[in-house]
Structure 1
Amino acid sequence: MQNRQTQHDDDDDSAPGYVDLQVNGFAGVDFNSHDTTTDDIHRACRSIRDDGAEKFCPTVITDDLDRMTSRIQTLVRAIDEDAATADLIAGIHVEGPFINPADGFVGAHPADQVRAANIDDAKRLIDAGAGHVRLFTLAPEQDADGSATRFLADQNIIVAAGHSDASLDDLHRALDHGLSLFTHLGNGCPGSLPRHDNIINRVLSVSDRLAVSWIADGHHVPFFALQNYFRVCNDDQIIIVSDAISAASLGPGRHRLGDQWVHVDDDGAAWSADRKHFAGSATSLATMVSLMQHHLRCTDVQLRAWTRTNPLRLLGMT
Structure 2
Amino acid sequence: MPEGLESIVGRHYSTGKLIELTVAGGRIAAVNGLAEDIGSEVKGGAESGTGIGIGVGTLSDAGGGIPWLAPGLVDLQVNGSFGIDFNTLPLRMEDVSGITRLLQAGGVTSYCPTLITNSSAAIGEAAAAFAAAVRSDPAAAAGIAGIHLEGPFLSPEDGPRGAHPAEHICPPDWEAFVRWQDAAEGLIRIITISPEWPEAPSFITRCSDAGVIVSIGHTAASPAQIREAIAAGARMSTHLGNGTHLSLPRHPNYLLEQLAADELWGCMIADGFHLPPSLLKLILRMKCEQAILVSDAVSLSGMPPGHYRLHIGGEVVLTEEGRLHLAGNPGLLAGSAMQLAEQVAGLACSGLAGLDEAWNCASLHPAGLLGLPQAAGLAPGAPADIVSFRRDGARLKLLDCWKNGVKSRCSVE
Query: TM exceeds 0.5?
Result: yes
- Distance in 2 (alpha carbons) for counterparts of 1:160 and 1:114: 16
Match of 1:269 among 316, 323, 326: 323
Does the alignment pair 1:135 with 2:190? Answer: yes
2:57 corresponds to = none
User: Could you report, residue by residue, the CA deviation over 1:273-296 in whole angstroms, capped at 9, with x for unpaired residues?
Assistant: 664743321000000011011112
Local SS of the residue matching 2:74: strand
Deviation at 1:42, TM superposition (A): 1.2
- Distance in 2 (alpha carbons) for counterparts of 1:88 and 1:280: 23
1:110 corresponds to = 165
1:191 corresponds to = 246
The one of the two structures with greater contact order (alpha-carbon pairs below 8 A, sep at least 6) is 2
Does the alignment pair 1:237 with 2:297? Answer: no
Deviation at 1:258, TM superposition (A): 4.6
Structure 2 residue runs without a partner (length 5+): 1-13, 22-26, 29-69, 374-413
User: Could you report, residue by residue, the CA deviation over 1:137-193 in whole angstroms, capped at 9, with x for unpaired residues?
Assistant: 100112545111111111111110100122121111111111000000000112222
- Distance in 1 (alpha carbons) for counterparts of 2:237 and 2:198: 15
Local SS of the residue matching 1:142: coil
Deviation at 1:112, TM superposition (A): 1.2
1:90 corresponds to = 145
Deviation at 1:205, TM superposition (A): 2.1
Q: CA RMSD in A?
A: 2.1
Are the equivalent residues in 2 in contact too, given 1:260–1:273 (CA < 8 A)?
no
AA in 2 matched with 1:265: T
AA in 1 matched with 2:166: A
Quick check: which has more Rg, 1 or 2? Answer: 2
1:168 corresponds to = 223
Match of 1:217 among 265, 271, 274: 271
Does the alignment pair 1:228 with 2:289? Answer: no
Are the equivalent residues in 2 in contact too, given 1:60–1:95 (CA < 8 A)?
yes
Are the equivalent residues in 1 in contact too, given 2:313–2:334 (CA < 8 A)?
no
User: Could you report, residue by residue, the CA deviation over 1:183-209 in whole angstroms, capped at 9, with x for unpaired residues?
Assistant: 000001122222333322121121x11
User: Could you report, residue by residue, the CA deviation over 1:113-136 in whole angstroms, capped at 9, with x for unpaired residues?
Assistant: 100112112212222211111111
- Distance in 2 (alpha carbons) for counterparts of 1:69 and 1:286: 31
Cα distance change of structure 1 residues 314 and 212 upon mapping to structure 2, 3 Å threshold: same
Cα distance change of structure 1 residues 56 and 172 upon mapping to structure 2, 3 Å threshold: same
Local SS of the residue matching 2:114: strand
Are the equivalent residues in 1 in contact too, given 2:192–2:216 (CA < 8 A)?
yes
User: Could you report, residue by residue, the CA deviation over 1:259-279 in whole angstroms, capped at 9, with x for unpaired residues?
Assistant: 543432333222356647433
Cα distance change of structure 1 residues 147 and 256 upon mapping to structure 2, 3 Å threshold: farther
Does the alignment pair 1:154 with 2:205? Answer: no
- Distance in 2 (alpha carbons) for counterparts of 1:35 and 1:118: 25
- Distance in 2 (alpha carbons) for counterparts of 1:176 and 1:301: 33
* TM norm structure 1: 0.90
Cα distance change of structure 1 residues 176 and 24 upon mapping to structure 2, 3 Å threshold: same
Match of 2:115 among 25, 48, 60: 60
1:3 corresponds to = none
AA in 2 matched with 1:296: G
Structure ranking higher in helix proportion: 1
Does the alignment pair 1:78 with 2:133? Answer: yes
Deviation at 1:53, TM superposition (A): 0.4
- Distance in 1 (alpha carbons) for counterparts of 2:243 and 2:282: 19
- Distance in 1 (alpha carbons) for counterparts of 2:343 and 2:166: 29
- Distance in 1 (alpha carbons) for counterparts of 2:340 and 2:158: 28
- Distance in 2 (alpha carbons) for counterparts of 1:256 and 1:137: 26
User: Could you report, residue by residue, the CA deviation over 1:289-311 in whole angstroms, capped at 9, with x for unpaired residues?
Assistant: 11011112512331232111111
AA in 1 matched with 2:319: D
Structure ranking higher in strand proportion: 2
Are the equivalent residues in 2 in contact too, given 1:139–1:161 (CA < 8 A)?
yes
Cα distance change of structure 1 residues 274 and 159 upon mapping to structure 2, 3 Å threshold: farther
Deviation at 1:220, TM superposition (A): 0.7
Local SS of the residue matching 1:141: coil
Are the equivalent residues in 2 in contact too, given 1:33–1:257 (CA < 8 A)?
no
Match of 1:296 among 351, 354, 375: 351
Are the equivalent residues in 2 in contact too, given 1:246–1:256 (CA < 8 A)?
no
Q: Which 10-residue stretch deviates more, 130-139 or 254-263?
A: 254-263
User: Could you report, residue by residue, the CA deviation over 1:91-110 in whole angstroms, capped at 9, with x for unpaired residues?
Assistant: 01100000001111011110
Equivalenced residues, count? 307
Cα distance change of structure 1 residues 145 and 35 upon mapping to structure 2, 3 Å threshold: closer
Are the equivalent residues in 2 in contact too, given 1:118–1:148 (CA < 8 A)?
yes
- Distance in 2 (alpha carbons) for counterparts of 1:256 and 1:91: 28
Does the alignment pair 1:314 with 2:369? Answer: yes
1:43 corresponds to = 98
Cα distance change of structure 1 residues 176 and 203 upon mapping to structure 2, 3 Å threshold: same
* TM norm structure 2: 0.70
1:278 corresponds to = 333
Deviation at 1:36, TM superposition (A): 2.8
- Distance in 1 (alpha carbons) for counterparts of 2:348 and 2:100: 26
